């Protein structure tokens, strides 16, 4: 086995709200390997977003440590691209300038990046929309722009925090396919947070199930369904078994 690209050791996060400590994360340990597609599922309040914010260096952990490519994460790093639930495109910038925003922020040369940006937009099916403004695009298209933006500095890791949560069910399924296509073409490590169990099973190599109060990992399932995944994969008995297993893990504690 290669070295993990992301290594979490005993991560914990405690917030203090009105002098009461609230444990958002407790003893989370996980290794993610290069080019793996790992999903995190769990109900609201199980600390998923807290976890990815810590991994991305946006939030300090209370205990434990995060290593990305062997180095301890203390602040945001270029090797991670982020995609959020809302596309957060800047409405006064056209598509290409939105994609190039990270290049500007990191003061990287614009010319080579311009080509990368065009290639990425073409890969995401957005060729010809470079000069369009975000509000002229559908929600799904805006989110594709956001994915291109996250990939423009060519980070080995993509962290996606419920990226399709605001899309309608059909667009969402379509975006899943798109993401797998982009992932296979660009060979990224993806950490994907979602509420949707079937989405997580469909996309992932491994699936991390989290439970709340305190947020911790209940189990990690290896989804050994064949790739590339097609719609037919959803009809496989194994697919249904994985879904049931995840539901059991999530609702077990809630029922008891």
Residues at the site binding other proteins, with contacts judged by CB under 8 A: 53, 56-58, 75-76, 78, 80, 82, 84-86, 88, 90-92, 101-102, 104-106, 133-136
Q: What is the closest distance, in whole angstroms, from the C-beta atom of residue 195 to other proteins in the complex?
A: 17
Give the count of beta carbons closer than 10 Å to the beta carbon of residue 240: 13
Closest alpha carbon to 5 in 138, 173, 189: 189
Taking the least distance from each CB to other proteins, the nearer of 91 and 237 is 91
**How far apart, in whole angstroms, are the C-alpha atoms of residue 29 and residue 217?**
8
Closest alpha carbon to 201 in 162, 244, 157: 244
Closest alpha carbon to 83 in 145, 170, 135: 145
Closest alpha carbon to 47 in 84, 83, 2, 15: 15
* CB-CB contact of 32 with 191 (8 Å): yes
β-strands 80-83, 157-161 pairing: parallel
Taking the least distance from each CB to other proteins, the nearer of 88 and 244 is 88
Taking the least distance from each CB to other proteins, the nearer of 133 and 177 is 133
Taking the least distance from each CB to other proteins, the nearer of 91 and 256 is 91
Q: What is the closest distance, in whole angstroms, from the C-beta atom of residue 246 to other proteins in the complex?
A: 27
Q: What is the closest distance, in whole angstroms, from the C-beta atom of residue 183 to other proteins in the complex?
A: 20
Taking the least distance from each CB to other proteins, the nearer of 56 and 246 is 56
Q: What is the closest distance, in whole angstroms, from the C-beta atom of residue 244 to other proteins in the complex?
A: 34
Burial 58-73 (b: 16+ CB within 10 A, else e): eeebbebebbbbeeeb
Taking the least distance from each CB to other proteins, the nearer of 87 and 242 is 87
Torsion of the alpha carbons at 9, 12, 13 and 19, rounded to the nearest 10: -150
Q: What is the closest distance, in whole angstroms, from the C-beta atom of residue 105 to other proteins in the complex?
A: 4
The 8-class DSSP code of residue 215 comes to: B
Taking the least distance from each CB to other proteins, the nearer of 94 and 204 is 94
The 8-class DSSP code of residue 162 comes to: S
Q: What is the closest distance, in whole angstroms, from the C-beta atom of residue 185 to other proteins in the complex?
A: 23
Q: What is the closest distance, in whole angstroms, from the C-beta atom of residue 53 to other proteins in the complex?
A: 8
């Amino acid at each position: 086995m290669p070295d993990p690209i992301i290594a979490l050791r005993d991560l914990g996060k405690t917030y203090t709200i009105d002098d009461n400590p609230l444990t958002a994360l407790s003893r989370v340990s996980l290794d993610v390997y290069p080019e793996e597609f790992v999903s995190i599922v769990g109900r609201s309040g199980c600390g998923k977003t807290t976890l990815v914010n810590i991994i991305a260096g946006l939030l300090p952990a209370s205990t434990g440590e995060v290593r990305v490519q062997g180095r301890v994460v203390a602040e945001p790093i270029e090797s991670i691209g982020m995609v959020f639930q809302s596309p957060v495109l800047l409405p006064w910038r056209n598509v290409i300038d939105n994609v190039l925003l990270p290049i500007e922020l990191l003061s990287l040369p614009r010319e080579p990046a311009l080509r990368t940006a065009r290639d990425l937009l073409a890969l995401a099916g957005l060729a010809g929309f470079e000069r369009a403004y975000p509000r002229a695009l559908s929600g799904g298209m805006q989110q594709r722009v956001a994915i291109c933006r996250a990939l423009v500095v060519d980070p080995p890791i993509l962290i996606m925090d419920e990226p399709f949560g605001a899309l309608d069910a059909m667009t969402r399924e379509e975006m899943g396919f798109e993401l797998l296509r982009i992932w296979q073409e660009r060979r990224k490590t993806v950490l994907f947070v979602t509420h949707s169990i079937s989405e997580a099973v469909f996309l992932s190599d491994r699936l991390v199930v989290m439970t709340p109060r305190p947020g911790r990992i209940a189990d990690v399932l290896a989804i050994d369904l064949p790739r590339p995944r097609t719609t037919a994969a959803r009809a496989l008995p194994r697919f249904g078994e994985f879904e049931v297993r995840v539901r059991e893990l999530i609702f077990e504690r809630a029922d008891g």
